Structure 1
Amino acid sequence: MVIGLLVAVAVGLFALARIVASHTQDLQVLSDAEYSKNVHARIRPPVKEAIAGRDKGTAEGGASGTAVVAAMPQNGTQLFEQTCNVCHGQGIGGAPKAGDKAAWAARIAEGKAMLYEHALKGFQGKAGVMPPKGGRMDAPDDLVKQAVDHMVQMAQ
């Protein structure tokens, strides 16, 4: 009997909380057009891709309407710092951490040709995924190879 009464009180309090919560400002804020516009402006991609054969004027980015383009690194070390370090600095996505000799030993033993191929074309292994060119598709192959050489040098 006591347990039944406690359950009834708990259900009643739960129902009361739901009723009170349903009449909050959240519903009004979410339906506000200005709020929705601001949220979409904050979460939209910073740039749009320019597709061959289409009007390049539509590929605008940022609030100023100018395209945001990362500067092309001048050498493999700069490419590593700008791109590769995002994953290899922390070991994100199963990437071997830069400078971790144990994690790199087996990969280095396979040879630089294999490392170059995985870096240029991408790789999906047991530990994780390597996107082609680390996701920096505009980087020249030679620059990617220099970045691989830099990481190998760090791990030796």
Structure 2
Amino acid sequence: MSAVSDRKFVDTFMVVLGILVVISVAIYALSSFIAGRTQEVHVREDAAFQQRIEERIEPIGQVAVAGQDNSGLRDPGGAAATVAATSAPAPAAAAETLDGEGVYNAACTACHGPGIAGAPKTGDATAWAPRIDKGMDTLVQHAIEGFQGDAGYMPPRGGYSNLSDEEVRDAVQYMVDAVGS
């Protein structure tokens, strides 16, 4: 007899639970429908909301084409006056060649100054001795092409691909001279 009453209780409980789930889903659907017809419509129609959207999707820049009417373009900071003042583009300046110390300060000091990633510290004779013993040509080759050693990794040209071979050679010579051997 208890099995029959237990089964009846479980069946009744499942029906009540099912009805509660259906009611919850219906309330959620009704509230979403009402919110979509009222609040969301008013928010989308709000002038301040529309202004924020326009600002967010506004183009970052505009292109002025020589010989065409560009009067409709925005001119932040008076850039048109600056462009108009220069009738012809300036020739590109030749890249400045740095000496060994300049290259060291720009590219090498980040790792060789504090000795990061296995890089021998500038001026540390003990760390530089085995490298100097391999010869200047090997040091320069490793600096230009990059080198994976036991202590760490030397990126090609110290990570500055715009350096010439001569600039890299000068920087290596600067660091070797700093050892004072």
Q: TM-score, normalised by structure 2?
A: 0.46
Aligned to 1:123: 147
User: Alpha carbon RMSD of aligned pairs, Å?
Assistant: 1.8
Tell me, in whole angstroms, the C-alpha distance in 1 between the residues paired with 2:96 and 2:162. 8
**Identity across matched positions, percent:** 46
Residue by residue over 1:95-127, the C-alpha shift from the partner in whole angstroms, topping out at 9 and shown as x without a partner, is 000000000011001100100010000000100
Q: Greater Rg, structure 1 or structure 2?
A: 2
Whether the aligned pair in 2 keeps the contact of 1:121 and 1:131 (CA below 8 Å) is yes
Is 1:89 the counterpart of 2:113? The answer is: yes
Q: Return the letter of the residue paired with 1:118.
A: H
Tell me, in whole angstroms, the C-alpha distance in 1 between the residues paired with 2:105 and 2:126. 21
Give the aligned length.
88
Aligned to 2:24: none
- Partner of residue 147 from structure 1, selected from 171, 174, 177: 171
Moved segments of 4+, more than 6 Å: none
Please give the residue correspondences for 1:22-101 in structure 2 after superposition, counting only pairs within 5 Å. Answer: 74-101=98-125
C-alpha displacement of 1:74: 1.9
Aligned to 2:160: 136
Whether the aligned pair in 2 keeps the contact of 1:119 and 1:133 (CA below 8 Å) is yes
C-alpha displacement of 1:72: 5.0
Whether the aligned pair in 2 keeps the contact of 1:72 and 1:139 (CA below 8 Å) is no
Aligned to 2:138: 114
Tell me, in whole angstroms, the C-alpha distance in 2 between the residues paired with 1:72 and 1:127. 33
Tell me, in whole angstroms, the C-alpha distance in 2 between the residues paired with 1:114 and 1:120. 10
Q: Return the letter of the residue paired with 2:126.
A: A
Unpaired runs of 5+ residues, structure 2, are 1-55, 57-94
Q: TM-score, normalised by structure 1?
A: 0.53
- Partner of residue 105 from structure 1, selected from 104, 116, 129: 129
Residue by residue over 1:14-57, the C-alpha shift from the partner in whole angstroms, topping out at 9 and shown as x without a partner, is xxxxxxxxxxxxxxxxxxxxxxx9xxxxxxxxxxxxxxxxxxxx
SS state at 2:150 partner: coil
Aligned to 1:20: none
Tell me, in whole angstroms, the C-alpha distance in 2 between the residues paired with 1:96 and 1:72. 28
Tell me, in whole angstroms, the C-alpha distance in 2 between the residues paired with 1:128 and 1:119. 13
C-alpha displacement of 1:73: 5.2
C-alpha displacement of 1:77: 0.6
Tell me, in whole angstroms, the C-alpha distance in 1 between the residues paired with 2:97 and 2:123. 21
Q: Return the letter of the residue paired with 2:141.
A: E
Unpaired runs of 5+ residues, structure 1, are 1-36, 38-70
